[in-house]
Structure 1
């Protein structure tokens, strides 16, 4: 058997995390004490081709019927969005877990929609209360599990999974993959990008702006190059999906809980209709299915999983470790970008003390 060669490359891993939110090079670790959990993509085998909302309905119903037919106690992560709302409509009577931030003062409309959906489906709704202390209390567990810094959703997913475990939940239903299968990343699909413009738009934090010894990861995009343009649809179905799937996977692995995403098995039989997306119909097939499942509710607009990172880091002064440049103007970065810089520093501090 061929021996797997592993390498330690803190600066490449740091640059990749800031730019892409994960370390893109397999078998490459930040430090020698922890192995990085490289995010694996789900198998293409047995993918279910869907052409319309009715196909998606049948595919989801079949999968959830098979899931709920086993002896495990099932829960669902329920937001006020389309994806989890649709899944909830096939899961009457189970336990639902909804994030509530700052006593319910953050994104109240989405919280209220989750409450309505839970009531319509006779679900026992549990609030998962999150604040910055909750995040920091759970951060070490998910960073050790990953062997690196993490996406800002991971500590709160881990917290929800641990709370559900105390209720006897053994497997959680999630709806993450819908965005990547059905064209939910509408801003990145909003136009035909040039190669260089897409890289600037896609990269989360340019490592050359904040690290003393940055390494370029732009080579990753070359595999998607089409002359002076880029296959941005393929990037969303591979590179972006890989990062997101890995974040959910790590949080649940850290919590020791199984999870299942019915959208992950699905694949569109026809190319995305970019005209519909660019005219305001992101995830148009999912919108149609939501109308079928909830004819009396307005279709909610797509929102990312809520996390008030702008509030968390409103007064943060920036990193101080030697790996980072001095006097970074941290005010130019939004909350999600600040999280990446802050979390990288938190991980490096933690790794020094293991």
Structure 2
């Protein structure tokens, strides 16, 4: 259990810190300002607007985690789509799909990445050098599928809305943006992730308290999520010690493309049956090599696109869509997600070997 605590505490600390950072960035108007600028720069061109959204969604996912894209970016871009009289489903699917398929590149992009980093004892640069081909492939395929599926939406012209959205306090917004940028740089150059994120969260709180203390009222802290993740880690660890590790010891996947494809497929399938976090923890004993570890991440990060419970980000995203009045049928979601998963998971996994 001591080893479990050593893995769990940094993950839980990171989850707490990133929730605070992302929430304060949203409260100071960062995401609303970005959406407003995208709308004004596009001048009614849906392809230009959507291209900007793709860049922002990937950046938010990579540097602030997939939950940030699902929870904080989704509502502002849906409001922008409705303001411009554009089918909001393109924007909704862009957010939820890139939140998942775009969460491979950095350890901070997804909790599964942090768990993988702790199990392999590798650095952020090692992680990045190993996973980048799959991350790039997954993002490119996702964007391509979105462009084909929503080609009619991309062919229309939206209503030009020149009403500017000014932040309540530009200095606070700039300060929060600088903290996020500094955190991203620190993580890329190899800083200890949980410590760097907690320091950044503390700086965000101090800055907000100095400039506008009212923004700290009822600041949502992810206590339930942290408790859920902690309990999940304990349950799966007990199951591994009692049954799973001994059972998986009978199997040894080959450190090859075939073994990687099998593990990635298992990860995607189990994620859609239960959830991607317990799916990763369950299958982790099979990821005995760096290639297999990366392939498992492809499956559990880019694969949970079919069922609404496959990732917490999707459930949170669905709630934001309902609040915005955007109806997404789960049958439609599953069929579209099945097609994307069937393309992304094997091709992103194969890319790990084509470049290595």
What's the TM-score, normalizing by structure 2?
Answer: 0.26
Structure richer in strand, relative to its length: 1
